[in-house]
Every structure is written in C-alpha cells, then in structure tokens.
A and B are shown apart, each in its own frame.
Chain A
Amino acid sequence: DQQVKQNSPSLSVQEGRISILNCDYTNSMFDYFLWYKKYPAEGPTFLISISSIKDKNEDGRFTVFLNKSAKHLSLHIVPSQPGDSAVYFCAAGSTLGRLYFGRGTQLTVWP
C-alpha cells in the first residue's frame, strides 16, 4: 500500500527549460514533505521541504508546491541544468511517525 506515489518513472527535459516532477500522497495525516535527489552509487541528499501549512517554498532554482486538497505536490526546477540529472524522491511524514518515500523519478536534462 503505497502512501506516496510518483507515477512518472522518468522525465526528459532540455537544458534551460522547466522540469516539473509530481508526487501524490494518500495519508491526510502527513504534515511535512521533502524532496531528495540521488546520483548513481551515492545516497540520497536532501533538496527542499515544505510544511503542510504552506503551499509554496522556494530555494534558488527549486520550488515545491503543495496542494493539500488534491494531496499533490510538485517540484519545479527552473532553469534545468545537465547536473540536475538524477533520481528525485518525494517523501512525506508526520511529526509522530516516519518518512514514506515514493519510487522516484529519473530526470534527464539534455543539452
């Protein structure tokens, strides 16, 4: 029973354009959400997070949007760069529990 779903296993974007990675969740008790990035042969690294009381959080080229009513969040990368090519994991949790991860989306940014 997947509580966090990333339905697109891969995304291919041209350099300079916007990358939009999507994530859906089922548990309305989740109150914070995170995105992690993972390069091959490395562990995931934290990218950006958002609290359930916000609908947007920005950090440089990365913006996360949260739509609580739709139980949906997205990560926007603008402009996309070749170094952004990696697997992106969406994760969700509540302050009382543990983190649940999605299956990941492989982003490829081509020149």
Chain B
Amino acid sequence: NAGVTQTPKFRILKIGQSMTLQCTQDMNHNYMYWYRQDPGMGLKLIYYSVGAGITDKGEVPNGYNVSRSTTEDFPLRLELAAPSQTSVYFCASSYNQGLNTEAFFGQGTRLTVV
C-alpha cells in the first residue's frame, strides 16, 4: 500500500521558472492538502481539496495553483518561482475532516529557489 506519493523528492529551481509538484494517493481519500514547512516553523496550509473538482485556498496560497481532476491526484503548480518559496512541501490526504480522521502525509519535496 503506497499511501501518499510525492514527486520529486528534491528540486532546485531558478527564479522565474515554473514547476509542478506531483501528489497521488491510493486510499480513495476525499480530502487532500498541500502544506509547506519553513525552517523552525510549523506546517502552513497552501491549498486543500474536499473532492475531485473542488479546491480552496489555505493560509498561504499566493504564488501557487492547484487542480483536482481525479480523486487520486492533487498537483501543486508554482508559476514564477521566488526565493521565498524555498521550503519543504508536504502533500497529505484524509478520508474526512474531524476527530479520528488522521491525515496521511507524503515524504515531502525539498525545493530550493536560487
């Protein structure tokens, strides 16, 4: 059982470049999330989705876009990379929201923008 899979694990981007962070889950979860973790900081929600075709902004959505065309996939798009987007990105999924609804996280993507 793969769980939540993120690719790539590492990436270096130049300022102004674009890229897509891939996330897929095989647990048939409705909810999917993208978080970023800056050094010494907690996880901040970028975008989330409650089901295919539905997405919503989190705490720090600026500079990012998402889509949810299938239940399994939730890619995160960076259009014009900036040094402030250097971070570790985590994708997560959960069956529902609320108590006893643990979120399963991927291993993370470490992104550096130079």
Contacts and interface: CB of A to CB of B under 8 A. Distances in A.
Do the two chains belong together in a single complex? Answer: yes
Interface of A: 2, 4, 6, 9, 31-32, 34, 36, 41-46, 49, 51, 89, 91, 93, 95, 97-99, 101-104
Nearest to B56: A98
17 contacts: A4-B42, A32-B99, A43-B105, A43-B106, A45-B105, A46-B102, A49-B99, A93-B98, A95-B97, A98-B45, A98-B48, A98-B58, A98-B97, A99-B33, A99-B45, A101-B35, A102-B42
A42 B103 contact: no
A97 to B, nearest CB: 8
The contact size tier of chain B is: 20 to 34
B42 A43 contact: no
Contacts of B33: 98-99
Given A98-B48, A103-B42, A104-B42, A43 B102 contact: no
Interface of B: 4, 33, 35, 40-45, 48, 58, 90, 92, 97-100, 102-108
B102 A49 contact: yes
Contact of A89 (B43, B97, B98, B99): B43
Contacts, number: 57
A98 B96 CA distance: 11
Contact of B103 (A46, A95, A97): A46
A41 B108 contact: yes
A46 B102 CA distance: 6
A59 B44 CA distance: 27
